[in-house]
Amino acid sequence: MPPYSPLYTLHLLAALIWVGGMFFAWMVLRPAAGTLQVPERLTLWLEVFRRFFVWVWIAVVALPITGVGMLHMGFSGFDGAPRYVHVMIGLYLAMLALFLRIQALQLPAMRRAVEAQDWPAAGAGLGRIRRLVAFNLLLGLSVVSLAAARPSL
């Protein structure tokens, strides 16, 4: 077993939790929640985000720590890493930026609207979050595909 195997395992689990959670939310939970009445649906989503984002924060911290560890153990640093690794780092930063936008801007606005029972504003907020999550999911699936393919760019 290579010495970086524990880092690699943690790295994969963090990516799986983040990207898999977005996939589940988009492909399974979103359509199922559409059958609920507006107040229940929006309240459900706030609770889902509260619980899921704890795990996303763990992934957000674990991915760069394990990634940099593997980078130094497997490639002797950034200069020795293949181009696809650099692309993965860039995609992670884009995903992080989108997540931070949701966490810091979109989610608090939606929460305030739900608390005020301003359902149209809360629904609009959920729509903005949904679009950002969809784009982040596409980025995440791209990173996973890139990692699996390991192209010689």
Note the pLDDT of residue 153.
57
CB under 8 Å to 31, separation ≥6 — which residues?
none
Domain hosting residue 131, numbered range? 4-149
The mean pLDDT of the chain is 96
Residue ranges in the chain whose pLDDT is less than 70: 153
Catalogue the long-range contacts made by 106-113 (C-beta closer than 8 Å, 24 or more residues apart): 106/132, 107/49, 107/53, 110/42, 110/45, 110/46, 111/46
Note the pLDDT of residue 2.
82
Note the pLDDT of residue 129.
98
- What interhelical angle do 119-149 and 38-75 show, nearest 10? 30
- Report yes or no: 134 and 26 within 8 Å, Cβ to Cβ: yes
Q: Hey, what are 127's tokens? A: 């729509």
* Count of structural domains within the chain: 1
